[in-house]
């Protein structure tokens, strides 16, 4: 079985070689191409030294009928004709073999191709010894191959053009929708719908020019969507800063009107202003917050001594008997200084016998439970722990 298959393969190769030897040419699969650049020179022959016939514009479609190295030959536009000497034609038929067909009525014009004896000639008009004819279907002009891009085979060009017509219709609709959306406030633009409309063109008509344009539009819309998301986040943060600034301002007014505020209240105001300064120092709110922090710092210094008497803490001094009347609970006091003693605080504890520490320097830890600053300049401490210094 394998031997039979090999026999037929060899027979086919021999037949192809015989056809080539006999001068038979394999048919060229014609295809349509699209010009990539503007003002492309069209030449009579596949050479940069050949005369320029005209120029092609970017996006023009051409039917490629043959190739030669780095050049392609294509059917010229309607309205372009070739020339043949009248002596080479009899009754509309080429009378001799290998007759030159030129791009103009002169021997100095470039040769477009050669006609064989018996080829029909479609005469357009005469000019002296020359006949202007329609360009034969197997002849055409030349451009460099790298200046075109593949479009589609010749037999499917009509289908391609129909798809391109439909693609243009949908692309126009997508463009109208996009322009309408971009007239809206940027937060209200429906970027997802714009992207969807262009993506449908790419999915349905992927080989059209409109598909390439739709891809560019999608990239641009995605970028705009990303920028809008960032703006939304910025606006949200800005609203938060304005809210914090208003909250801090209201608390600050309360501090200024009420002298009986705690250190916790003060720190709450300061933390809000600091956040604004740290994150938005260059904004109007940031600059205002910095001014308010300086004012609050002066207020803090005025309140610092009072805050030290509120809450808990550690205190040092010598233990002495309490002889005052302000704090009935107190049994002893802590004093500091040399000859003239200064009372640090009055102390008491249900669990500690201070008589064991009398006239000794101690360190106590406790909680301030009374602060009669209007009568005495020291607080009452409930002692939790006492140790010798």
The whole-number average pLDDT for the span 79-95 is: 88
Band of pLDDT at residue 161, cut at 50, 70 and 90: confident
Instruction: Please give the biggest Cα pair distance in the chain.
Output: 149
Q: Can you tell me the distance from the alpha carbon of 87 to that of 107, in angstroms, rounded to the nearest whole number?
A: 14
pLDDT at 365 over 70: yes
**308 has pLDDT over 70:** no
Eight-class DSSP state of 389: -
Proportion of the chain above pLDDT 70, given as a percent: 88
SS3 content of the chain, % helix, strand, coil (to 5): 45, 30, 30
Counting every residue written for the chain, the total comes to 389
301 pLDDT band, cuts 50/70/90, is confident
Q: What is the pLDDT of residue 190?
A: 92
Q: Are strands 342-348 and 380-388 parallel, antiparallel or unpaired?
A: parallel
3-state secondary structure of 193: helix
* pLDDT for 311: 61
- Least confident segment among 78-92, 95-109, 157-171, 224-238: 224-238
Q: Which of 81, 86, 154 is nearest to 124 (CA)?
A: 81
- pLDDT of 110 reads 84
Q: Supply the DSSP string of 280-345, one letter for each residue.
A: HTTSHHHHHHHHHHHHHHHHHHHHHHHHHTSSEEEEEEEEEE---SS-TT--EEEEESSSS-EEEE
Q: What is the pLDDT of residue 319?
A: 93
Q: 64: how many CB neighbours lie within 10 A of its CB?
A: 22
Name which of 16-20, 60-64, 220-224 the model is least confident about: 16-20
Q: What is the pLDDT of residues 176-209, one digit of tens each?
A: 999 998 888 877 889 999 999 999 999 998 878 8
275 Cβ contact partners less than 8 Å away, ≥ 6 residues apart:
244
Q: Which two tokens stand for residue 195?
A: 């992207």
**Whole-number pLDDT of residue 32:** 87
Report residue 371 as tokens. Answer: 């602060």
Say if residues 29 and 64 touch (Cβ distance below 8 Å).
no
Q: Give the helix/strand (H/E) hosting 254.
A: helix 209-257
In this predicted structure, the answer to whether residue 286 has a pLDDT above a threshold of 80 is: yes
Among all chains, which residue has been given the structure tokens 């086919």?
Answer: 12
Cβ atoms of 303 and 262 within 8 Å: the answer is no
Instruction: Enter the tokens of residue 306.
Output: 């009072």
Task: Name the average pLDDT for the chain.
Answer: 83
């Amino acid at each position: 079985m394998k031997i039979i298959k090999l026999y037929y393969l060899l027979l086919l190769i021999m037949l192809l070689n015989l056809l080539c030897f006999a001068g038979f040419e394999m048919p060229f699969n014609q295809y349509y191409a699209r010009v990539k650049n503007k003002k492309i020179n069209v030449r009579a022959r596949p050479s940069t030294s050949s005369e320029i016939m005209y120029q092609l514009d970017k996006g023009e479609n051409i039917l490629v009928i043959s190739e030669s190295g780095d050049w392609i030959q294509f059917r010229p536009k309607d309205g372009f004709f070739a020339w043949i000497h009248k002596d080479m034609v009899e009754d509309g038929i080429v009378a001799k073999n290998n007759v030159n067909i030129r791009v103009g009525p002169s021997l100095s014009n470039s040769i477009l191709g050669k006609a064989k004896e018996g080829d029909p000639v479609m005469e357009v008009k005469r000019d002296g010894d020359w006949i202007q004819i329609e360009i034969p279907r197997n002849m055409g002009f030349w451009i460099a191959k790298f200046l075109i891009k593949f479009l589609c085979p010749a037999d499917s060009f009509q289908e391609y053009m129909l798809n391109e017509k439909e693609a243009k219709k949908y692309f126009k609709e997508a463009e109208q929708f996009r322009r309408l959306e971009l007239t809206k406030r940027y937060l209200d633009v429906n970027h997802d719908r714009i992207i969807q409309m262009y993506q449908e063109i790419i999915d349905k008509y992927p080989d059209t020019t409109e598909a390439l344009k739709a891809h560019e539009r999608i990239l641009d819309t995605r970028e705009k969507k990303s920028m809008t998301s960032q703006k939304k986040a910025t606006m949200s943060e800005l609203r938060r800063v304005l809210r914090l600034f208003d909250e801090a301002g209201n608390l600050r007014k309360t501090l200024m009107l009420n002298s009986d505020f705690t250190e916790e209240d003060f720190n709450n105001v300061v933390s809000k202003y600091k956040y604004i300064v740290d994150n938005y120092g260059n904004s109007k709110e940031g600059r205002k917050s910095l001014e308010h922090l300086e004012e609050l710092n002066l207020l803090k210094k005025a309140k610092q001594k009072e805050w030290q008497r509120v809450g808990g803490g550690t205190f040092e001094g010598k233990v002495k008997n309490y002889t005052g009347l302000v704090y009935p609970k107190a049994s002893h006091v802590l004093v500091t200084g040399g000859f003239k003693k200064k009372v640090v605080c009055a102390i008491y504890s249900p669990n500690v016998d201070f008589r064991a520490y009398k006239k000794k320097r101690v360190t106590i830890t406790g909680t301030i439970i009374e602060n009669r600053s209007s009568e005495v300049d020291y607080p009452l401490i409930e002692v939790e722990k006492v140790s010798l210094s």
